[in-house]
A and B are shown apart, each in its own frame.
Chain A
Amino acid sequence: MRRFLVPFLIVLLVAYASFAAFVWRSMRQPPEAFARVMAKMPGPVVFLLLPFETLWTHARAGDLQAGDAAPDFSLMKLDKSATVQLSALTAQQPVVLVFGSYT
């Protein structure tokens, strides 16, 4: 039995690494694609087996760093009363941006 232990552990390690690589790749996909993958995961398996938070933090690091110029944008206010340009705001004052959605 003992001579099967090492091959078994190697198979387990390869399976684990493959699973981690798969999840990592999904995290690097656009949000809709990542969400579809996660929706199919059985229960909390991905959170229990992998260092999910660490992977997520790195996968979603993005290109921007503190000190970089904030990418400009022009978006309509929800109440449709005005269009807001970020560069016009930051010329006057600091701006906090809170990204999110209801669900």
Chain B
Amino acid sequence: MAFFAVYILEAHPSDVWQMESNIKDKVVFASPKDYEERSLVAGACVRKLGIKFPALVDGFENATEKAYTGWPDRIYLIDAKGRIAYKSRPGPFGFKPQELRSALEHLAETKSSSQPKRDEPLASIGATDRR
């Protein structure tokens, strides 16, 4: 199970769509001019919010954001076959960690039910032994 933040273009850069709440929280950044600036803001984000899992920085052409319609925020769960197991509704309204939790539980359930029961090999050993 791997968690990654995908850091994308800013939701409320100060030069485009400044939010009062961001001013209060002292999260004021103009639109990054290039990939390096975006990385700097991403670094501040990860540090200040204490994000424990690793972050990937989207290329400045925003290819990943476009492919996943990730702006302003969104959650995806990809299964071990590379298929989308869960796609949240678009943020901010659709950004629901509880839904991810349910999706993770569901994925774990379907994985364990598709695997043969662990005691089957033991039972067959027992059966041949009894014969």
Contact = CB atoms under 8 A, between A and B. Distances in A.
Interface residues on B, range: 35 or more
Contacts of B79: 90, 94
A91 B82 contact: yes
A65 B29 contact: no
Given A61-B69, A90-B78, A98 B42 contact: no
A35 B48 CA distance: 24
A71 interface: yes
A67 B49 CA distance: 32
Contact of B41 (A36, A69, A102): A102
Q: Which residue of A53, A69, A100 has the most chain B CB atoms within 10 A of its CB atom?
A: A100
Interface residues of A, number: 46
A78 B19 contact: no
Interface in B1-52: 1-14, 16-19, 22, 27-29, 31, 39, 41-46, 48-49
Interface of B: 1-14, 16-19, 22, 27-29, 31, 39, 41-46, 48-49, 53-59, 63-65, 67-87, 89-91, 93-95, 100, 104, 107
Interface of A: 31-32, 35-36, 38-39, 53, 56-57, 60-73, 75-79, 84, 86-87, 89-103
Given A90-B81, A93-B2, A96-B1, 9 more contacts: A57-B90, A69-B84, A70-B82, A75-B59, A76-B57, A99-B5, A100-B7, A102-B41, A103-B12
